[in-house]
Structure 1
Amino acid sequence: MNSPAQSVRDLVSEAEWNARVDLAAAYRLIAHFGMADLIYNHITVHVPGTEDEFLINPYGLMYEEITASCLIKINLAGDILFNPNGDAYGINPAGYVIHSAIHGARGDVGSVIHTHTRAGMAVSALECGLMPIAQTNMRFGKVAYHEYEGVAVDLDERERLIADLGTSNVMILRNHGLLTCGPTVAEAFNTMYWLENACKVQLDALACNTALHLPPQHVIAKTAHLFEPHVRRPYGLMEWPAMLRLLDRRDSSYRN
């Protein structure tokens, strides 16, 4: 008898299976680095070879439980196209609203990550937003902001969210959390990892209750420019195999 992993793998294309493995890895990595929120929040990835399909986590599983086989396939209309979990788990409507908006409007985006970390929520509530106080922070020269409208279950919020995001791959959802996106799950994860660290650095500096030293604006702009993917490299792609090796040393069940 085939295992559940084999049966799901047999039902999807090789490209989709690879996307499932990468997405499951991203969930495990977010948990590993302390950015998970119990069973909440979402990471999605576009299903290769399709126009409007993407994969999302089953609502009820912790990130450390996510596997390639359990991910649910839905479309931009919110229809569940393939749920390997049967009736055991469905999807979180708030995740559908946010992620469908971006996947539907940004053809350059292959993956979207949204978190509710302590540091991310704290910075989202600061009027100053993210400050260029360290090199890590200066990587994010184009940060978008979206005002809080309550729990994201209203479909009409998608239009405003997309308008605020624009062409940026980094958004701070005011009084809410962080959001990153990218062409691949590897790039979206790398962006989120460093955005989270930038928030932590800022909060540590502000907690010292002393004057902050900021570089001149032209240096901040130069640094942000040097971090742009077309100038150096698409951050995340080179690091991704190492991230997978990290997971494989600890628990390779995400591949199931």
Structure 2
Amino acid sequence: MTDSHIEKLFSAFKQTTTLTFPQRKGASDENNPFEAYYYREDAEKVKLDKWPHYLEIYEEVFAKFRNKEKVRILEIGVHHGGSLHMLKHSFPDAYIVGVDIKPECKACEVPEDDIYVEIGDQGAVSFLEDVVSKHGQFDIVIDDGSHIASHQKISFLYLFLNGLSDSGVYLVEDVFVNYMKAFNDTNPNFMEMAYDLARELQSPYKGEFVPARFRVDNEDKYQSLDVSIAYKNIHSISFFDNIVTISKKVRDGLPCMEYR
């Protein structure tokens, strides 16, 4: 197949289609506790502002923590505290920390339920250092904060290495702001950085890559390779509708292949 044939197929893949505005769902998936809280109508619910399709993504990427004892969660962006309560509903034994730049958000703290709020700027590494020093590392980090691209980058670059536990998940939502002039204050922006990190996951196989030298039974196999800190620490990157997740798993050695 020629390049022109491939381009024709790809062009068809990108052709325009039409989606209509959905009817309000109004009912939750009983197997999704995030939706169960979001669609509640009782007086005790603390309201929150979310794109409903996020809740399916939350369940997909966070379900693995369901049986973990005392999951630890950091959410950047508190607003009225509704999301903190949704997280508590979904993980009843969780230790949850919210951070926000607005002092009035401190009122959302509920220490008796292990919900804490720290006031500060997510774009200041010194503040992030203080949060990690006080509360330790987290299994889940959710960035729903200022939505400023440089803040998304700073928070991720510090917290992923220093504030996220091994096997943890870092989620950035509302990434559409990277395409809006009012929020896109850095080059490359967060999305461009995420694409670059996705390419970095393939970095050992670039250049003069010799597949046979990754074989366990090859006497001439690689004994060591220089890799980036990003490659050593990132397990996967997933791109969803308006959300990016980066999963952490510290590699203890080179990848290898074996015929068994």
Q: TM-score, normalised by structure 2?
A: 0.31
Higher helix share: 1
Instruction: Kindly indicate which of the two structures has a greater share of residues assigned to strand.
Output: 2
Larger radius of gyration: 2
TM-score normalised over the length of structure 1: 0.32
